[in-house]
Amino acid sequence: MVVLNKIYTRTGDKGTTALGNGDRVAKFDPRVTAFGTSDELNATLGMARLHATGLMDTQLAAIQNDLFDLGADLCRPDLAGDATAEYPPLRMVASQVDRLETEIDAMNDVLSPLRSFVLPGGSALAAHLHLCRTVARRAERLSVELSQSEEVKPHVVTYLNRLSDWFFVAARIANNDGADDVLWVPGANR
């Protein structure tokens, strides 16, 4: 259980922050950038949820929780030390990716195939979901970049890859099941 009774600690005043294992690193460290971007994604998702109802809102709430799991996973380096850690580190698991795939398939079943690329927009919810999609792609790129120099649990990258697809399909659902998608017209303004 997390207890936060003092929000500021002054420990980061010199440009460092603590990772989940207690190590202190620069606030611009690639690991901090990766989990910071997952936090940014969660904030953009909070904005999207202002426009969501019913099943969509329930699914978005689950994703927000997953993103905290993902941030916890990324902030804890040293996967080899998981077995001996005082508290078992929270790691992303395959079932979280599987759930996204199941939801993508269910949403996609009601959509007509695309004949053009979709421009971000349409309804307020769709526009916010497209923003979430782009931030998810950035979080994925940063996690992949981190994985080139440090160990990253593979489910982190897979989850973010699938999540951006989820946001794309969900944005189409939010656009009246694709009927109100804003389609790209190549060269329309030449």
* Structure confidence by residue, pLDDT tens digits, 45-68: 999 999 999 999 999 999 999 999
Produce one character per residue of 164-187: b if its CB has 16 or more CB atoms within 10 Å, e if not: bebbbbbbbbbbeebeebbeeeee
Residue 24 — left, alpha, or beta (φ > 0 → left; ψ -120 to 50 → alpha)?
A: beta
Cα distance from N-terminal residue to C-terminal residue, the chain: 58
Residue 7: predicted pLDDT: 81
188 pLDDT exceeds 90? yes
- Provide the pLDDT confidence category of residue 101 given band limits of 50, 70 and 90: very high
Q: Which tokens in the block code for residue 129?
A: 């979901």
Superfamily of domain 29-78+89-183: Cobalamin adenosyltransferase-like (1.20.1200.10)
Residue 64: which residues within 8 A CB-CB, separation 6 or more?
42, 45, 46, 49
Q: Which tokens in the block code for residue 135?
A: 């931030």
100 pLDDT exceeds 90? yes
Lowest mean pLDDT among 18-22, 26-30, 44-48, 151-155: 18-22
78 pLDDT exceeds 90? no
Answering whether pTM is above 0.85, one says yes
Q: Provide mean pLDDT across the span 138-161.
A: 96
- Provide the pLDDT confidence category of residue 1 given band limits of 50, 70 and 90: low
Q: Kindly list the domain boundaries of the chain, sorted by start residue.
A: 29-78+89-183
- Nearest CA to 34 out of 130, 170, 151 is that of 151
Q: What is the pLDDT of the chain when averaged over all its residues?
A: 94
Q: Provide mean pLDDT across the span 176-183.
A: 96
